[in-house]
């Protein structure tokens, strides 16, 4: 495994060590954000030569962020996200087997937000988190896999009312796969997939509610 796929994990560690935030807009209260987004990416390839990339279908994703204050200058976020997608198996599947693999992807991350140009809850911010990815395929002979992952992103927040705000975000997700072949196989599957790291990128819109 090369050092390049580990670079996002190093960046997230640095982000987690320095989450300064600015002062007071709902910094002393909890909040929940409901996100909808469009997500694309991949990182899988055929395990057999010529090791062609395996495409992942782009599509919608839904996410929830639960936030609470650490101190007047910092906020934590528990981030949970879910997507249904498909892998285009192409040459990785045996003759007569399905050409696509339905795949459910779920992230659970703990991290925080940093509003770097104004009070907490207003203006631009950076966001990040560390946690795990659940990848659950739907083909006979396959089983789910859980791997460590992270997300990092940029966003902007507009307060709409005292306890309601609108957010837009761009997030990237990186999941460490570290597999040399038959990644999802469990008991005789005919799919031959490998990968070092899965990357996904998402444009998101969210509504934040304080409570």
Query: Which pLDDT does position 73 carry in this prediction?
Result: 57
Q: DSSP label at 171?
A: E
Query: Which pLDDT does position 28 carry in this prediction?
Result: 56
Total number of domains constituting the chain: 1
Q: Which residue has the higher pLDDT, 12 or 37?
A: 37
**pLDDT tens-digit profile of 154-187?**
999 999 998 999 999 999 999 999 887 789 888 7
CA nearest neighbour of 35 among 58, 11, 61, 10: 61
Which domain range does residue 114 map to?
A: 4-210
CB neighbour list of residue 74: distance below 8 Å, 6 or more residues apart = 19, 20, 21, 112, 114
Query: Which pLDDT does position 92 carry in this prediction?
Result: 56
Query: Which pLDDT does position 199 carry in this prediction?
Result: 97
Q: Which residue has the higher pLDDT, 89 or 131?
A: 131
**pLDDT tens-digit profile of 187-197?**
777 788 899 99
Q: Does the structure show a pLDDT above 70 at 54?
A: yes
H/E element, 7: helix 7-17
Query: Which pLDDT does position 23 carry in this prediction?
Result: 33
Q: Which pTM does this prediction carry?
A: 0.83
Query: Which pLDDT does position 6 carry in this prediction?
Result: 57
Q: What is the CATH number of the domain that holds 68?
A: 2.40.160.20
Query: Which pLDDT does position 22 carry in this prediction?
Result: 30
Helix (H, G, I), strand (E, B) or coil at 21: coil
């Amino acid at each position: 495994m090369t050092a390049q796929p580990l670079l996002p994990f190093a960046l997230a560690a640095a982000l987690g060590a320095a989450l300064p935030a600015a002062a007071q807009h709902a910094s002393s209260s909890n909040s929940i954000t409901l996100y909808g987004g469009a997500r694309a990416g991949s990182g899988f390839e055929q395990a057999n030569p010529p090791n062609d990339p395996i495409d992942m279908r782009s599509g919608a994703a839904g996410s929830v962020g639960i936030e609470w204050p650490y101190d007047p200058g910092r906020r934590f976020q528990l981030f949970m996200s879910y997507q249904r997608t498909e892998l285009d198996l192409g040459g990785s599947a045996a003759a007569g087997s399905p050409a696509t693999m339905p795949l459910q992807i779920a992230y659970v991350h703990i991290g925080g937000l940093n509003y770097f140009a104004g009070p907490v809850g207003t203006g631009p911010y950076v966001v990040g988190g560390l946690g795990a990815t659940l990848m659950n395929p739907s083909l006979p002979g396959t089983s789910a896999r859980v791997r460590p992952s992270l997300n990092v992103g940029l966003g902007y927040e507009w307060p709409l009312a005292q306890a309601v705000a609108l957010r837009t975000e761009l997030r990237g997700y990186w999941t460490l796969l570290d597999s040399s072949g038959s990644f999802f196989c469990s008991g005789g599957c005919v799919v031959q997939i490998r990968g070092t790291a899965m990357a996904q990128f998402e444009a998101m819109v969210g509504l934040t509610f304080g409570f």
